[in-house]
Structure 1
Amino acid sequence: MSATPRHSLIRWITETRAPAAAVLIRLAVGSVFLSEGIQKFLFPAEIGAGRFAKIGLPSPEILGPLVGAVEIACGSLVLLGLATRLAAVPLIATMLVAIASTKVPILVKRGFWAMAHESRTDWAMLLGALFLLIVGAGPLSLDARLARRGASRPPR
């Protein structure tokens, strides 16, 4: 009997092909996003809504806290290795918007090398989140534990 679409989605979210060393990528990506999300609330004028207003993003008073909450929630999930693939999706979207709204203008005004320097963390977070989306959290994660538990249950 084949898996239902719901079970297939759950299996995709929790399964992993990543090596144990993927925990290092999870620690880097999760801790940076968690820290940045917290700082959006601690320093809203510099990092949160104020910064979003300065770069011209719409509704910065809503977008700043929303992005901060997403970074805290998804960064925490990545650190735990829980629903890692699912958590990576909004983080990827966040980084794409960050690159488009802050780094592309640097490229246009100051050139490639200035943009490359300013975007190194953004690219690292984007590529780290893409890695986790593709391969999963790795065996040292709650996802792997849930996948093992699900595999040991008899089919219904």
Structure 2
Amino acid sequence: MKKPPYYDLTGNIIIRLLVGMVFLSEGIQKFLFPVADGAGRFAKIGIPHPDFLGPFVGATEIICGTLLVIGLITRLVVVPLLIVILTAIITTKIPMLIGKGFWATAHDGRADFSMLMGLIFLLIYGAGKYSLDNRLFNRKTA
């Protein structure tokens, strides 16, 4: 089977590492600093059941971020991270846009926007050549 032209792009690993490491770091911080970044922050912005969802989202970010870094089941783990980042944008950036305007939101939302675009890229193009997905699922047949 002929591989698509984007298959040999090595840039996928850069996007994977960028997005994976940010989510991994954010997930760990939800446990290290629960008042500022976990359940306390969730309660402050009105997310229901913050004592459950704070650790749940943190664990999701740690697990999925790690899987992105190593490039395992990449397209699958992008889906829960898309839900996480879209929820973050809806609950924090949309109210900011209404209250503080475009430029304040653009400044504070640049990381969220970058993560969203990185996740969409990985959903479309996958983990790339240097990943466990490639090693496990794209073996050449003799």
**Alignment partner of 2:126 out of 132, 136, 139:** 136
**Alignment partner of 1:42 out of 7, 32, 41:** 32
Q: Are 2:75 and 1:85 equivalent residues in the alignment?
A: yes
State how far apart, in whole Å, the 2-side matches of 1:41 and 1:18 are. Answer: 37
* 2:104 matched residue in structure 1: 114
State how far apart, in whole Å, the 2-side matches of 1:91 and 1:134 are. Answer: 14
Instruction: Measure how far apart 1:18 and its partner are.
Output: 6.2
How many residue pairs get aligned? The number is 137
**Alignment partner of 1:69 out of 46, 55, 59:** 59
Q: What TM-score results when the alignment is normalised by the length of structure 1? A: 0.85
- Across the aligned residues of Structure 1 and Structure 2, the Cα RMSD in angstroms comes to 1.3
State how far apart, in whole Å, the 2-side matches of 1:119 and 1:45 are. Answer: 21
Deviations 1:116-140 (A, max 9, x none): 1110000000110110011000000
Instruction: Measure how far apart 1:38 and its partner are.
Output: 0.4
State how far apart, in whole Å, the 1-side matches of 2:67 and 2:114 are. Answer: 18
Identity, % of aligned positions? 58
Structure possessing the higher radius of gyration over alpha carbons: 1
Q: Which amino acid aligns with 1:120?
A: R
Instruction: Measure how far apart 1:152 and its partner are.
Output: 2.6
Q: What TM-score results when the alignment is normalised by the length of structure 2? A: 0.93
